[in-house]
Amino acid sequence: MDIGIYLRFVIWDLSFFGLMEIIPTIIAKDFSEVQEKIKRAEPFFDWLQLDIMDGKFVANKTWQQSEDLIKIKTKLKLEAHLMVAHPERVVDDWLAAGVQRIIVHWEAVVQAGAETQHISYLQKIIDQVKSQQKEFGLALNPETPVDILADWLLQTDLVLLMTVNPGQGGQDFMPKVIPKITQLRQIWPDGKISVDGGIDLEFAKQCSQAGANVLSVGSALWRADSLEQMAGLFKKI
């Protein structure tokens, strides 16, 4: 079967059976904001993403006290998107706090592993996560090619493609990332491909058509007049 026809069939199939997953994202200044948004999101979603920034890997700095999560009882599964310079130093803390998925940036791995070898460095992080029976995700910045992930996909539960430069909410979506979604879907036909950054309803449709099956959405949800209504619109994509 022609790959273009195959991909269109797969994408139609995902849409038809309602398998598009929507994950709200939180860029929080303090724990009270985390608590408030978890409470708001809980009735409408299964997962929620915590964006964790250390002011080093990216310029912005967010709430980072993983131990606070122990105070929360929620049915939501939480993922920690670690936009930090040395993810291996904090992975165990977030796992102990109860997150179900750890997402690290390929670019942070390459930078932090430069003193040794980033391949063994990344494997160490994967082993940290998998030893706790949790999910592991890799994030890529807009300029990073997807083919560098080929050797890691068998150990990866989710790939997050940034559609903005990481570190700040409310940025404009970068359409140039859409071909990367299609390329990744070709080499990873059964994988979870998420897109994150500047996602509105129109760009969400384009990402779905390209092969994404997870949408990480921030401003479009939290700034909506009705979170419930906007959640419903995204889920219909």
**Which active-site residues does the annotation give?**
51, 196
Instruction: Compute the distance between CA of residue 108 and CA of residue 72 in angstroms, rounded to an integer.
Output: 29
Helices 3-16 and 178-187, interaxial angle, to 10°?
Answer: 100
HEC assignment per residue over 67-112: HHHHHCCCCCEEEEEEECCCHHHCHHHHHHCCCCEEEEEHHHHHHH
Given a contact cutoff of 8 angstroms between Cβ atoms, the answer to whether 217 and 23 are in contact is yes
Cα distance between residue 112 and residue 164, in whole Å: 22
Q: What angle do CA 203, 209, 212 make, to 5 degrees?
A: 80
Q: Is the Cβ–Cβ distance between 48 and 76 less than 8 Å?
A: yes
Which tokens hold the place of 4? Answer: 């273009």
Which amino acid would we find at residue 168? Q
Q: Helix, strand, or coil here: 142?
A: coil
Dist CA 177 CA 163 (whole Å): 6
The tokens for 53 are: 């920034």
